[in-house]
Structure 1
Amino acid sequence: MPNQQAAPAGVPAIEASGLTVRFPVRGGVFGKVKDYFTAVDGVSFTLEQGKTLSVVGESGCGKSTLVKSLVGLVPLASGSVKIFGRGVQCGKIAPEGGEKPARVCDVVQMVFQDPFSSLNPRQTVEEILTAPLVARKVTFEKARQRAVELLERVSIPHGAMEKFPHEFSGGQRQRLCIARSLMVEPKVLLCDEVTSALDVSVQAQILHLLDDLRRDLGLSILFISHDMQVVRAISDDVLVMYFGKVVERGPADSVLTDPQHEYTKKLLSCVPTIRK
């Protein structure tokens, strides 16, 4: 398989320093750039190996833009990213010794919010899952074997290989997206609001699945969410964002039980409770 090397012990999975993302604001007849909107403003964080770091905040705070900047889906205006201690530039991880530069997508994979739009509706599950390995020159037979193993791992019957995405429920489609992300044996998963489009009972199943995969496969997970209940269930550490900046960070137990920033307190006060 593409990624067999063990991660170096004691080195953070991701170290981000001063990440800033700006989008041009255009206007006038010719659409010239008149100004820039700063979506992420000098964000720094560390994701430890084998841990889950949750980035929380209301819609529009920049958390999804932050996670997309880590894999090059949006360009950084400034700042730097290290993956397992190695710098990242132009979608590649700096080599060590005589090695060839590794691609970020071989080590870090992303699971998106909407599982239906993340899957090609014209491809079968077999085509969707085997494509990442076939593109990396792995034989179709080995790719298919890997796909069958991962379908079982995410509790989807391997008989589903010939089906299309529309034949599955929302929760099953998200499981397929998770299985696809694991095909190349990544060390880090970036999960962008992966439970927000699902029913509460299905959310719990996906959270349990992610936690089991983290523990069993030694994954490190960066989890994006606005749901504090979900964050409480899965997080080791929490980073709170407000208007593109980090306003609070720390261990999940500390941040969620004794928040120091007023914005964090407001987020927690919005968690629904049952009153008699």
Structure 2
Amino acid sequence: MPDFGDIPAIEAQGLSVKFPVRGGVLGKVKDYFTAVDGVSFTLEQGKILSVVGESGCGKSTLVKSLVGLVPLASGSVKVFGREAHGGKLAPDAQGKAARVCDMMQMVFQDPYSSLNPRQTVEEILTAPLMARKVPFEEAKARAYELMDRVSIPHSALAKFPHEFSGGQRQRLCIARSLMVKPKILLCDEVTSALDVSVQAQILHLLNDLRIDLGLSILFISHDMQVVRALSDDVLVMYFGHVVERGAANEVLVNPQHEYTKKLLSCVPVIRR
């Protein structure tokens, strides 16, 4: 992995995302709904930044805007110091251009819908490298390597997604995201569709990958217990705005904003 010095993995400034509200017989745009409003944050190299908030606060829209799945209305994103725009990165010091997806990959919430049911595991994992003109044997060797990392047997290459459990599917999704050797993972509620015991396994896997591969992770969640166990830093969102940010052990132990306090008050406590 190249040495980026102390440059943050992601620097986002004033990100805003707006969706058109249509009406009338012709479906003309009547207004705009602001899902993300002026959000700024920094993801440091090798760290895990969690974005928390209740459903509908703009967490998923924010992370999708970073990879170009949702267009930005305003704001700027830098990935390891390089401007990102329209899914592309500005040329580096050697004049080499790149795509955002070469640096950042996303792991989606639902492992059941994010894998093509008509493709085998081999086709799913090798597709990202085949699209980049990598020879099939090299792509297959990379798939073997990552299946070992996520604890899926090599014999699974010939199987289809419906033959796996939810936890196994999410492991395959993580393996697919790592095929192009990204430096940043964007994890959108990756444990919310899984059983509690399986959630713990996926969280341990993500943390191990972060350490072993030097990944930086932007982790989207509404589960404060998961965030407390995994995060270095926390960003709290409310109706598209950031209301609190800081180190996880500060924000989650001594919250300053009333909304953060209410979120934490909803965490179940076992009393004897």
Report TM bin, short chain.
Answer: over 0.9
Post-superposition offset of 1:101: 1.3
Matched, 1:156 2:152: yes
Question: In structure 2, what is the equivalent of residue 245 of structure 1?
Answer: 241
Q: C-alpha separation between the residues in 1 aligned to 2:60 and 2:84?
A: 19
Q: Which residue of 1 aligns with 2:250?
A: 254
- Indicate the SS of the match to 1:9: coil
* Aligned pairs for 1:88-99 within 5 A: 88-99=84-95
Find 2:40's aligned residue among 40, 44, 51.
Answer: 44
Aligned match of 1:61 = 57
Q: Secondary structure at the match of 2:182?
A: coil
Percent identity between matched residues is 82
After TM superposition, the structure 1 = structure 2 runs for residues 119-158 of structure 1, keeping only pairs within 5 Å, are: 119-158=115-154
1:7 offset after TM fit, Å?
A: 4.3
Q: Equivalents in 1 of 2:210, 2:26: separation in Å? A: 49
Residues 93-138 of structure 1: per-residue CA shift (max 9 Å, x gap): 1012442310000110000000111000010000000000011011
SS at match of 1:34: strand
**Paired amino acid for 1:268:** L
Residue 165 in 1 paired to residue 161 in 2?
yes
SS in 2 for 1:177: helix
Aligned to 2:117, the other structure's residue is in SS state: coil
Residue pairs, 1:74-113, within 5 angstroms:
74-113=70-109
Offset at 1:275? Answer: 2.1
Q: Which amino acid aligns with 1:113?
A: Q
- DSSP 3-state at the match of 1:117: coil
Residue identity matched to 1:179 = A
Q: Does 1:72 align with 2:58?
A: no
Which stretches in structure 1 are left out of the alignment for 5+ residues? none
Q: How far apart, in 2, do the equivalents of 1:138 and 1:36 lie?
A: 43
Distance in 2 between residues matched to 1:194 and 1:9, nearest whole Å: 29
Using the size of structure 1 for normalisation, the TM-score is: 0.97
Residue by residue over 1:62-94, the C-alpha shift from the partner in whole angstroms, topping out at 9 and shown as x without a partner, is 000000000000000000000000101111110
Unaligned runs of 5+ in 2: none
Counterpart in 2 of 1:223?
Answer: 219
1:235 aligns with 2:231: yes
Secondary structure (helix, strand or coil) at the match of 1:110 reads: strand
Out of 3, 6, 12, the residue aligned to residue 10 of structure 1 is: 6
- Which AA in structure 2 matches 1:131? A
Q: Which runs of 4+ in 1 moved over 3 A?
A: none
After superposition, the CA RMSD in angstroms is 0.7
Count of paired positions: 272
Amino acid aligned to 1:82: K
Task: Give the conservation status (yes or no) of the 8 Å contact 1:121–1:165.
Answer: yes
Report the TM-score, using the length of structure 2 for normalisation. 0.99
Instruction: Please give the alpha-carbon distance, in whole angstroms, between the structure 2 residues aligned to 1:240 and 1:98.
Output: 38
| Per-residue deviation, residues 9-65 of structure 1 (Å, max 9, x unmatched) | 100000000000000000011111111000000000000000000000000000000
